[in-house]
Amino acid sequence: MGSMACRELLASAWTDVQPMITRPATVGALNQLWAATCPIDQAKELGGKYVVPFQDVGISRPDLEQEEKWQELWDWCEAQGRKHA
Q: What is the pTM of this model?
A: 0.44
The Cα–Cα gap between 18 and 70 comes to 36
Taking CA atoms, 31 is separated from 36, 37, 61, 64, in Å, by 9, 10, 19, 21
Q: Inform me whether the pLDDT recorded for 1 exceeds 70.
A: no
Contact 59, 38 (CB under 8 A): no
pLDDT of res. 59: 85
pLDDT of res. 10: 84
